[in-house]
């Protein structure tokens, strides 16, 4: 059995999957913040409960928002204060008496989608999350490509390509990103960026869902805004796809639920790719909130 933990600042979610990658059981508990010992104990208790329930020694994978293993062997995760700065991977492996694998949660998202029953036939899968932030991951032959510091797939912190300014106007101010840089793709392609662009052009403070609702009601400004946003997304993706050349692109995050974006991208991408290139298959994510658990569990599938 494969155990996948999706650990966030407020909850720890465990999903148990069988050899056919089917969910058999899941449980959620609050993330402990009182201390490292309590954090480890919460994970151990969940693993022991799963072991007992299924009479196995399950294989444990963990997805976390941050760097699972830094140069000194410790975890970096700002929203997990009880465990950040601690050697979580090593300590948990010792505590449980088995190898524990850890990955960045965005890589787990991509891994979950790459192991979808239909998608698993694609050798190179790129996942792109368009949500509160912009991130993603790359999966090659069923295995996440992490990079030396687990930042492969941090697409949102690449700079806007120069052609993006042709779409939004060269006088459009560039926004400072949470990473401290200015002009990151995340500042305009995230849900917040989607809303900011609308406010910049139309001087109305609306949320992304409100703008999409107006688009559905055929509001002229919302329609114009969405067309501009799809063109901007296509410009940015043109650069990413030229570098990665995936067989499949899976879009996740809140904006991926706006099906018009997914439907329009293939034709909008063509001008931004090399003449010999072709847009990959583009699909919305199929596993939603379960992606973190699934991807973490599937860290052991490539043995």
The answer to whether the annotation marks 5 as part of a ligand binding site is: yes
Nearest CA to 290 among 108, 148, 127? 108
Q: Is 184 annotated as a binding residue?
A: yes
133 annotated ligand binder = yes
* 134 labeled binding residue: yes
Q: Is 141 annotated as a binding residue?
A: no
Residue 140 labeled ligand binder: yes
Residue 238 among known ligand-binding residues: no
Going by the DSSP 8-state scheme, the letter that residue 26 receives in this structure is: E
179 among annotated binding-site residues: yes
Q: Is 291 helix (H, G, I), strand (E, B) or coil?
A: helix
Residue 135 known to bind ligand: yes
2 is in an annotated binding site: no
Q: Which of 168, 170, 212 is nearest to 188 (CA)?
A: 168
Residue 11, annotated ligand binder? yes
Distance (Å, rounded) from C-alpha 137 to C-alpha 154? 7
Pairing of strands 281-284, 11-17: unpaired
Ligand-binding site membership of 35 (annotated): no
> In the structure encoding, which two tokens stand for residue 224, read together?
């114009």
d(CA 127, CA 11): 23
Question: Is 139 known as a binding-site position?
Answer: yes
Q: Which residues pair with 127 in a beta bridge?
A: 137, 250
Residue 97, marked binder: no
Residue pair 225/201 in contact (Cβ under 8 Å)? The answer is: yes
Residue 23 sits at the vertex; the CA angle it makes with 112 and 284, to the nearest 5 degrees, is: 35
Q: What span, in angstroms and rounded, lies between the C-alpha atoms of 235 and 268?
A: 8
Say how many C-beta atoms besides its own lie within 10 A of residue 153's C-beta.
25
Measure CA 286 to chain center.
13
CB burial of 113-147 (b: ≥16 within 10 Å; e: otherwise) equals: bbbbeebbebebbbbbbbbebbbbbbbeeeebebe
Q: Which two structure tokens, joined as six digits, stand for 166? A: 């042709």
The tokens of 38 are what? Answer: 């309590």
Annotated ligand binding at 177? The verdict is: yes
The response to whether 138 counts as a known ligand-binding position is yes
Backbone angles phi, psi at 143, to 5 degrees: -125, 135
Q: Indicate the annotated binding residues for ATP.
A: 4-11, 133-140
Q: Indicate the annotated binding residues for Zn(2+).
A: 157, 177, 179, 184
Q: Indicate the annotated binding residues.
A: 4-11, 133-140, 157, 177, 179, 184
């Amino acid at each position: 059995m494969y155990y996948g933990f999706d650990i966030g600042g407020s909850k720890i979610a465990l999903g148990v999957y069988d050899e056919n990658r089917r969910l058999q059981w899941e449980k959620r508990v609050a993330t402990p913040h009182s201390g490292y010992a309590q954090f480890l104990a919460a994970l151990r208790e969940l693993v022991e409960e799963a072991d007992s329930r299924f009479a196995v020694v399950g294989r444990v994978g963990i997805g976390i928002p941050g760097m699972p293993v830094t140069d000194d062997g410790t975890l970096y995760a700002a929203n997990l204060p009880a465990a950040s700065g601690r050697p979580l991977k090593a300590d948990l492996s010792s505590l449980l008496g088995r190898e524990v694998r850890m990955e960045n949660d965005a890589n787990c998202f991509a891994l979950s989608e790459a192991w979808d029953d239909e998608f698993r036939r694609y050798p190179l899968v790129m996942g792109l999350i368009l949500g509160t932030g912009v991130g993603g991951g790359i999966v090659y032959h069923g295995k996440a490509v992490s990079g030396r510091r687990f930042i492969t797939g941090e697409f949102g912190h690449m700079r806007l390509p120069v052609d993006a300014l042709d779409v939004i106007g060269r006088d459009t101010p560039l926004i400072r990103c949470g990473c401290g840089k200015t002009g990151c793709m995340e500042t305009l392609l995230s849900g917040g960026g989607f809303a900011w662009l609308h406010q910049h052009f139309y001087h109305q403070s609306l949320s992304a869902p409100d703008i999409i609702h107006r688009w559905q009601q055929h509001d002229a400004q919302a329609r114009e805004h969405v067309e501009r946003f799809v063109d901007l997304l296509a410009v940015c993706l043109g650069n990413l796809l030229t570098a990665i050349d995936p067989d499949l692109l899976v879009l996740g995050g809140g904006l991926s639920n706006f099906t018009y974006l997914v439907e329009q991208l293939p034709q909008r991408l063509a001008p931004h790719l090399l003449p010999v290139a072709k847009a990959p298959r583009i699909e919305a994510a199929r596993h939603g909130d379960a992606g973190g658990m699934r991807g973490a569990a599937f860290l052991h599938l490539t043995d």
